[in-house]
Structure 1
Amino acid sequence: MRLLMRNYAPRVSSFVVLPVLLLVACTQVGGRSGAEGALVLETRASDSAQARATQRGARASAERQPHEDTKPASPRPQTPPDDASPADEALVFAVVSDLNGRYGAQDYADGVHESVRWLVEDVRPDLVVSTGDMVAGQRAGLDYEAMWAGFHAAVTTPFARAGIPFAVTPGNHDASAGAVFYQERITFVEQWRARRPQVEFVDDRFYPLHYAFKTKGVLFVSLDATTVGPIDATQRRWLREVLQANRDARAKVVFGHIPLYPVSQGRETEILRDAKLEAMLNEFDVDLMLAGHHHAYYPGRRGDLRLVSMACLGSGPRKLIGSDVVSPKSVVVARVAPDGEVSLDAYASTSERHGAHPKIERSTLPESLNEGAQRVWRDDVTEGL
């Protein structure tokens, strides 16, 4: 069902062998070479090769992390009514984005730690989604193993200990599809194949790059969108198959790193600019597309499709296009009602332990961004739509 507007307050409390992907001839964020951009060659490895790769990743992870961090998170106990199915329950999920700091950083800002604590202890969502840029890579000579160990200690492990599934999508600083960052993508895949969330996967052949799963009847689809320009035809065909097979989902949420349209100042050209993708999302009644990279919160809408740009939790918050105010660091908390109605709000982060996380009021944000064919309206504004 399409999204309907309603404010929501959170519950406060009481290879190298890679099994599925080889990346060919891409450029880093900032542009693509060739008219067609990146081409993703999808291959199917043998079952034995998959097993060997998974075992190596798990062994390497076990050497770097405490034993409990290498295990999939156990689902939190649920107590629905006897006659209730998961699709009869509301789903609460949170979204975080761009948590990284300076290049090569292995530690995280106090605001990241406090936001994770707040989500775990106060909001207690059914799921947390990341729209990318978890580590500060995309540069040669960095210690990626140590960077990921720092991220897992600050973010992954607290969610795992709380039994909250954590679903990620790659950012350009995590696993850019640029050819020169091939090794970073390998590391990304190894790190997250050892930390698969306990969710009902719809298609995990290409996890953790692009994949799909359901939670309480809601479809979530991760896109591999780490470079500027449209997603490739192969991934688009895959997305169509997933959406076609899950038309009956209670709600549909697509998430990736690069946004469809400009949101923040200084990154106006760093977008997907993908009319075919947007048309497909509308064709299959996708409710919500989440994106990061622009480091500014904006709950936008084009027609019936909601386009939510995430603020950062790490370094480098930016101003929205046409605004003089830096977008506050924040997280998004969303609720999908049993009837499929989706509501969401952003809550400002703080570096103060147990500090306030005030809701960011929509009235403080521009009514629209951009002009002409790229115009995006705030999701509570009906004028002009």
Structure 2
Amino acid sequence: MTTTPTAARRPRHRARVAAALLLVTATAVGATSTVTSARADDAVPLLTTESTAWSYLETGVDPSAGSTDPLSWTADDFDDSQWKNAQGSFGAKGGKATGMGGGYAVDTLLQQYLPGGTVDVPTYFFRSSLELTADQLAGWKSLTADVVYDDALVVYVNGTKVVGYEDSRIADFEGNVGYAGDGGGDPDRSTFTIDPALLHAGENTVSVALYQDRSTSSDIYFDFLSLTPVSASAEATISDVFLNVGADESQRAVSWYSDSTSAEEAQLALTKDVTGGVFPARASSFASTSGVATDGQNWHHATLTGLVPSTSYSYRVGSDADGWSETYVFETQATGDYGFLFIGDAQIGAGETARDTAGWVETMGKASGEFPDTSFVLSAGDQVNTASNELQYDGFLAPSQTKTLPFATNIGNHDVASKAYEQHFAMPNVSETAGRPDAARAGGDYWFIYQDTLYISFNSNDRDDAGHADFARKVIAEHGDEARWTIVTFHHSVYSVASHATDGDIVTRRAELPPVMSELDVDLVLMGHDHVYVRSYLMSGTTPVHTDEPVDGTVAPEGDEVLYVTANSSSGSKYYDIQSQDFDFSAVQNQEYTPNFTNVEVTADSIAMTTYRTTDMAVVDEVTLSRPADPTEPPVDPTDPTTPPVDPTTPPVDPTTPPVDPGTGDEDPTAVPLSELTEATHTLVVTAVDEAEGTLTATVPRRLAGAALDWFVHSEPVYLGDDPSDDDGVLTLRLPEGLGAGTHTLVGQTDATGAETWGTFELTAVSDPLPGTPGAGGAGSGTGADTGAGTSAGGSTTTAQADGALAFTGSDALPLAAGALLVLLAGLALVIRARRRRA
């Protein structure tokens, strides 16, 4: 059938958010909007419920039976003249046209059951067509479609699949007929984008396959609400902006969706430099990786690098060509002690989507309001109830905090059945092998470091526990010495007391994972899945210990003991009852059928966790995990009789001999040419330039903290010395006399591997160090003063010294004895940092 476009008009922005959800979001989030770029025009929809007639087959027979091409039924020339014909919406519930959930109505009743019984028809097939001209196609950037379905749906345009919802089981079919999808309840609504390249002048065919998830499903539903062209001149519609953690505290990742196929990027600037939403010319740009999302739009991921502590940043995403999102602001926290929020299954859509969203928005508002300086949010998984449902993702992304607080998400069993999870969330250091159950589902174990804590996340949907163990061993072997604490997190709780506690898969994980946690010296394991709060006793492998001690207060692990915590629902979408049997591993368990969240405070000596009820902020549980300070190597005692005596024949050092100028002489290292620098080592952040004092303060990556590097300033390389940074990676260098105004490159290098880190900075005038300071070859001070100042260029440019920046305090020539003491202390600091928590 050919569709004639009507004069009906629909909003050009994404239509998948129901009115109730829009009301919840507008009320709870205020000015923050998921959709940020307005359309300049309102195009006439090409397909609508009211105007489009569909040919449809409801007999359960494969329309391509006997053909060598299983998709022959989607082709333009397929003969559907024997099919029925009607307008939507289509559906049935219990064989009738009434009672459909979610407020959806049935206009055309489908035959729900196979002839002679009450077994559901597995698959329904629909076809419609539309006439288009070459001029129309030339004026379109894309087409936006809005559909409602139950239980699974696949859409084809001219024989090419453009989108599939809950369709992972279809790959196992022989032919086109079978059961697929997720019978979670009411019909789902989704929006997707179609590339005009799939269309041609003349008649175009749209084909739809609709699936029941099982033979006893209570209802079936399909409605193609609209198909609307997007003008080539329209700005991009940018949505689903989400802030993710980075590989360490100097990074954040941003993910977003766009209906444009053009290249897009993230821009970053100091908030103080952004006026009226206008970004400065020196704002940093970070290109995105991208691909086609499950809803037909394009997903984008960009990593923001070179962030410094205690700084407010503004960012936006998009492009000059297609338009930008609104501006969002986040703040980095100070170094040292820090906190984060731990939340369990939001699972938007497990109840009623708008209600679940309201509960989730309330939890995030209460938690961030009570703990405004928190560093990030760690989610135990099941962000949504249906893996491909973009309406539910809208609910999860509704809180404004998802754009201003970085999130570390685990993948839950309700997230895994679609690639949408890994398109919406850009986690760092994701494994290409560990935690990847198959190519059709999302996943991948990952890790990151924040301050002195190593975080490791397993995709526990992958049942390969040995693979998870190997991944953790490798990460800890390579990065364990960079952290004092190790926290592992995954979705499927191994120590819980509600509905899932006795599931066969949980029993298997309980036997296999805890011994590995103890073996690897893990401190804390954070989990979800069972929609109940549980804190274990300290566990030595699978054995609870200290069970005769009070459960409140402080627990102090010894040897291989690990603490496990399971989070309750953070939205109130679903709760599970505590089972009546005794679980010997459970120290504290709580089910009050109200949303929870946990505030976690991390110091060098403890991890303090307080869990709250969102509704009234009453305390559910509080516990502090503590441990003694790391053993350290004592400094050498010069009076110790075991210390080798000084050789009396060695001539004493002449105290009047001036120290060697590290910028002169034949032993100076050779500078790495600028042409050999790569973006992989563009990791140095220049945080302040004090032109009056003639100093520069910079921060090196965590792995280089305390390392002695040879420092050069370019263009014409001048050696600045080999000073190490302090334990936080901060050092201050003195600039050479006569360094010209303009942009310069600072490089830290070693003889063994060449350039280790580099960044750029600017001078507004020729440097003129104070009288008595080293000249062009002078060494850096190595004071490691932390200015807390920021950079507007993601490590590539800096402003002059920020307000409150510390003045340079190094002396021009340290006496030899004092210099020797500094070397000793620096070495001792490195030894202390490298020690693990237990001897």
User: Separation in 1 of the partners of 2:601 and 2:423?
Assistant: 31
Unaligned ranges ≥5, structure 2: 1-160, 163-170, 173-180, 182-286, 301-315, 319-323, 433-441, 541-560, 582-588, 627-839
Q: Secondary structure at the match of 1:271?
A: helix
Contact kept? 1:318, 1:327, Cα under 8 Å: no
CA distance 1:267–1:282, shift in 2 (3 Å)? closer
1:253 and 2:487 aligned = yes
Structure with higher helix content: 1
Contact kept? 1:244, 1:284, Cα under 8 Å: no
In the TM superposition, residue 254 of structure 1 has moved relative to its aligned partner by 0.8
Contact kept? 2:364, 2:401, Cα under 8 Å: yes
Q: Which residue of 2 aligns with 1:128?
A: 377
Q: 2:430 aligns with which of 204, 210, 216?
A: 204
Q: Which residue of 2 aligns with 1:288?
A: 524
Q: 1:174 aligns with which of 399, 415, 436?
A: 415
In the TM superposition, residue 71 of structure 1 has moved relative to its aligned partner by 9.9
Matches within 5 A, 1:9-48: none
TM-score when normalising by structure 2:
0.30
TM-score when normalising by structure 1:
0.62
1:60 and 2:326 aligned = no
User: Separation in 2 of the partners of 1:72 and 1:59?
Assistant: 21
Contact kept? 1:212, 1:221, Cα under 8 Å: yes
Contact kept? 1:168, 1:208, Cα under 8 Å: no
Aligned residues: 281
Contact kept? 1:213, 1:221, Cα under 8 Å: yes
User: Separation in 2 of the partners of 1:128 and 1:189?
Assistant: 17
1:190 and 2:423 aligned = yes
User: Separation in 2 of the partners of 1:221 and 1:253?
Assistant: 6
Contact kept? 2:348, 2:393, Cα under 8 Å: no
Q: Percent identity?
A: 21
In the TM superposition, residue 268 of structure 1 has moved relative to its aligned partner by 2.0
User: Separation in 2 of the partners of 1:191 and 1:220?
Assistant: 20
1:144 and 2:389 aligned = yes
Q: Which residue of 2 aligns with 1:317?
A: 575
Contact kept? 1:310, 1:331, Cα under 8 Å: yes
Q: Tell me: higher relative CO, structure 1 or 2? Use CA pairs within 8 A at least 6 residues apart.
A: 1
In the TM superposition, residue 109 of structure 1 has moved relative to its aligned partner by 4.3
Q: Which residue of 2 aligns with 1:332?
A: 598
User: Separation in 2 of the partners of 1:268 and 1:71?
Assistant: 47
Matches within 5 A, 1:202-281: 203-206=429-432, 209-226=444-461, 230-248=463-481, 249-265=483-499, 267-269=501-503, 271=506, 273-274=508-509, 275-281=511-517
In the TM superposition, residue 117 of structure 1 has moved relative to its aligned partner by 0.5
CA distance 1:133–1:113, shift in 2 (3 Å)? same
Q: What is the alpha-carbon root mean square deviation over aligned residues?
A: 3.9
1:58-91: per-residue Cα shift (whole Å, max 9, x none)?
96247xxx9599899865143x4xxxxx3xx112
1:307 and 2:564 aligned = yes
In the TM superposition, residue 208 of structure 1 has moved relative to its aligned partner by 6.2
In the TM superposition, residue 326 of structure 1 has moved relative to its aligned partner by 3.2
Q: 2:611 aligns with which of 346, 349, 352?
A: 346
Matches within 5 A, 1:103-122: 103=350, 106-107=353-354, 108-122=356-370
In the TM superposition, residue 283 of structure 1 has moved relative to its aligned partner by 1.8
User: Separation in 2 of the partners of 1:52 and 1:73?
Assistant: 17
1:296-331: per-residue Cα shift (whole Å, max 9, x none)?
111213132111011112322223344897344311
Unaligned ranges ≥5, structure 1: 1-14, 17-23, 29-50, 81-85, 176-180, 351-355, 364-377, 381-385
User: Separation in 2 of the partners of 1:52 and 1:254?
Assistant: 29
Q: Secondary structure at the match of 2:331?
A: coil
Q: Secondary structure at the match of 2:475?
A: helix
User: Separation in 2 of the partners of 1:209 and 1:115?
Assistant: 28
Q: Which has the larger radius of gyration?
A: 2
Contact kept? 2:339, 2:600, Cα under 8 Å: yes
CA distance 1:109–1:144, shift in 2 (3 Å)? closer
CA distance 1:208–1:215, shift in 2 (3 Å)? farther
Contact kept? 2:380, 2:491, Cα under 8 Å: yes
Q: Which residue of 2 aligns with 1:76?
A: 331
In the TM superposition, residue 284 of structure 1 has moved relative to its aligned partner by 2.0
Contact kept? 2:446, 2:458, Cα under 8 Å: yes
1:360 and 2:620 aligned = yes
In the TM superposition, residue 113 of structure 1 has moved relative to its aligned partner by 1.4
Matches within 5 A, 1:81-100: 86=335, 89-100=336-347
Contact kept? 1:61, 1:70, Cα under 8 Å: no
CA distance 1:75–1:325, shift in 2 (3 Å)? closer
Structure with higher strand content: 2
User: Separation in 2 of the partners of 1:109 and 1:310?
Assistant: 18
Contact kept? 2:349, 2:392, Cα under 8 Å: no
